[in-house]
Amino acid sequence: MKYNAIVEKLDIQTNKNDGKLHDWTFAIKDNVNLIGSKTTASSALLENHESIYNAHICDLLLAEGVHVTAKTSMDELAMGGTNRSALTGPVKNPYDPTRISGGSSGGSAALVASRDVRAAIGSDTGDSVRKPAAYCGIVGVKPSYGRISRYGVVPYASSLDHVAYFSQNVSDAALILEVLAGRDDRDMTSSYEPVDAYASLLDLDLKGKKIGVFKTVNDAVENKETQEAFNDVLNKLEEQGAILVEKTMDKALLRALLPTYLSIANAEASSNHSNLDGVRFGNAIAGENLDDLMKHTRGQLSLASKKRLIYGASMFLDEGDEILFNKAKRVRRLIVESYERLFDDIDVLLSIAAPNPAPKIEETQVKDLFSDEHLIADNYMVIDNFSGYPSLTQPMGMSDSMPIGLNISAKPFAETTMFAYAKKIESLIAWKGEF
Ligand code: GLN
């Protein structure tokens, strides 16, 4: 199917008469339960898994008149950043089908970029909505931790998992959050914080406003075109009277982001996915005894997933090795404390979302695993999963005929502020995209 983005075509609309998002076409990532569809999370193990209930977000969208047209492809169990491991094949980027759309929410990103749907649901544990948004030239929103209920979404790493989504512009993004945000008793991490009328609070005068610029991240970007596009945006903000404040963070802490993320995420994932054993969930493959059945059943996982789960279980959760998991959590705390301080005198922090446009599908090797470009520029967005701060990626220009994006982060539950800045930037850039 188109771009390998769709795993199941759907035609679900329960409220056909009205609603805040009446008749908006929506795609839903395949790790979200929706009655009338399969929820496979791109895993052979769950290939036949029919959803038997609706995720909270699906109830909310359907009540507001949304028309769900597809379930979308993803990296298996959301454990990846490229969609190369997707069960239905690598998702192609609508701007250039020889390139990836990013992951793990790559199918949703591709369909919004190609205008096949107006908006789409994804999930973001490390950057799985914001990175594909940058690669596909669309808006990607990961709100504050607890802002949207995760009830009914297949978990990856519970202390980092967020429901997140894609849209074609900032106004749509603001309206979607009005629908999705709010307390749900079925997710104990869901917040009681009141929900704003985000879409009607987008006006902003930049005169005298201080904007943080994440210098340590931007300095780690080597691509000149990305640098220039970002500097153009900064110049435009200054022309509007904004005051730019450069923000730096200890490089050693930023270099620790990726290893800390992988330690925490893989440990939590191995615990969350221990129920994919053929007894509780998943296509069972019989064996001589229960152990064999579990081994055969879990053998259906991709090599990439197996590596993560084995690493998570053996390095971090085994008796005695737990100390490593606790160390990772301490490093996370240090990073978050230092990140929080950046916001002492600013409301939003801007940075380059991804150093380069989407890589080619066959380009599977990272140039230098220990470079700052990889450790910092390409993976820093996980800092907003560590801290739970809201974060939004939006297009800022083109490089190599491909979209490139910038990222805005704001203080917890300051989505209103985040959207207002994003809207202003959108109007200054007037980026149209190809479609
Ligand atoms: N790139 C991250 C990873 O590979 C993103 C995963 C996510 O946010 N689901 O784990």
DSSP string, 273-326: GGG-SSSSSS-----SSHHHHHHHHHTTS-HHHHHHHHHHIIIIISTTTHHHHH
Ligand 1: which of 29, 79, 150 to mutate, most ligand atoms within 8 Å of CB? 79
Q: Torsions phi, psi of 399, nearest 5?
A: -140, 130
What's the rounded Cα separation, in Å, for the pair 271 and 52?
23
- In DSSP terms, 72 is beta-bridged to 6, 29
Query: What was the pLDDT predicted at 1?
Result: 64
Q: How would you write the pLDDT of the chain (435 residues) with one tens digit per residue?
A: 689 999 999 999 999 999 999 999 999 999 999 999 999 999 999 999 999 999 999 999 999 999 999 999 999 999 999 998 889 999 999 999 999 999 999 999 999 999 999 999 999 999 999 999 999 999 999 999 999 999 999 999 999 999 999 999 999 999 999 999 999 999 999 999 999 999 999 999 999 999 999 999 999 999 999 999 999 999 999 999 999 999 999 999 999 999 999 999 999 999 999 999 999 999 999 999 999 999 999 999 999 999 999 999 887 777 777 788 899 999 999 999 999 999 999 999 999 999 999 999 998 888 899 999 999 999 999 999 999 999 999 999 999 899 999 999 999 999 999 999 999 999 999 777 766
Q: How many independent structural domains does the chain possess?
A: 1
What's the rounded Cα separation, in Å, for the pair 17 and 303?
46
Q: Which H or E element spans position 57?
A: helix 56-63
Q: Which amino acid is at 434?
A: E
406 in Cβ contact with 425 (< 8 Å): yes
Dmax over Cα atoms in the chain, in whole Å? 72
Query: What was the pLDDT predicted at 431?
Result: 79
* 360 within some domain: no
Span from the CA of 382 to the centroid of ligand 1 (angstroms): 9
- The 3-state DSSP class for residue 247 equals strand
* 77 within some domain: yes
- Told to judge if 128 belongs to the known catalytic residues of this protein, a careful annotator would answer yes
Atom number, ligand 1, closest to the C-alpha of residue 125: 8
- Told to judge if 401 belongs to the known catalytic residues of this protein, a careful annotator would answer no
**45-83: b (≥16 Cβ within 10 Å) or e:** bbeebebeebbbbbbbbbebbbbbbbbbbbbbbbbbbbb
Is the CB–ligand 1 distance for residue 380 below 6 Å? Answer: no
94 in Cβ contact with 108 (< 8 Å): no
Atom number, ligand 1, closest to the C-alpha of residue 129: 8
Q: Torsions phi, psi of 349, nearest 5?
A: -125, 125
Is the CB–ligand 1 distance for residue 81 below 6 Å? Answer: yes
Query: What was the pLDDT predicted at 364?
Result: 83
- Told to judge if 171 belongs to the known catalytic residues of this protein, a careful annotator would answer no
Q: Which amino acid is at 273?
A: H
Ligand 1: which of 32, 42, 83, 104 to mutate, most ligand atoms within 8 Å of CB? 104
Span from the CA of 17 to the centroid of ligand 1 (angstroms): 38
Is the CB–ligand 1 distance for residue 102 below 6 Å? Answer: no
Is the CB–ligand 1 distance for residue 381 below 6 Å? Answer: no
Q: Which residues span the domain enclosing 154?
A: 2-207+384-429
Protein residue closest via CA to atom 1 of ligand 1: 81
* 160 within some domain: yes
Is the CB–ligand 1 distance for residue 156 below 6 Å? Answer: yes
Eight-class DSSP state of 54 = -
Identify the active-site residue in 101, 104, 167, 263: 104
**272-291: b (≥16 Cβ within 10 Å) or e:** bbeebbbeebbbebeeeeee
DSSP 182-243: S--TTSTT---PPPP-GGG------TT-EEEEEHHHHHT---HHHHHHHHHHHHHHHHTT-E
Identify the active-site residue in 128, 171, 191, 270: 128
Span from the CA of 102 to the centroid of ligand 1 (angstroms): 10
Atom number, ligand 1, closest to the C-alpha of residue 127: 8
**105-120: b (≥16 Cβ within 10 Å) or e:** bbbbbbbbbbebbbbb
Alpha helices (runs of H) in 347-402, residue ranges in sequence order: 372, 383-387
* 411 within some domain: yes
What's the rounded Cα separation, in Å, for the pair 174 and 307?
38
Ligand 1: which of 29, 125, 258 to mutate, most ligand atoms within 8 Å of CB? 125
What's the rounded Cα separation, in Å, for the pair 282 and 385?
28
* 242 within some domain: no
* 148 within some domain: yes
Span from the CA of 289 to the centroid of ligand 1 (angstroms): 35
370 in Cβ contact with 384 (< 8 Å): no
Protein residue closest via CA to atom 3 of ligand 1: 80
Span from the CA of 111 to the centroid of ligand 1 (angstroms): 19
- Residue 282 CA from chain centroid, whole number: 25
* 420 within some domain: yes
**CATH number of 104's domain:** 3.90.1300.10
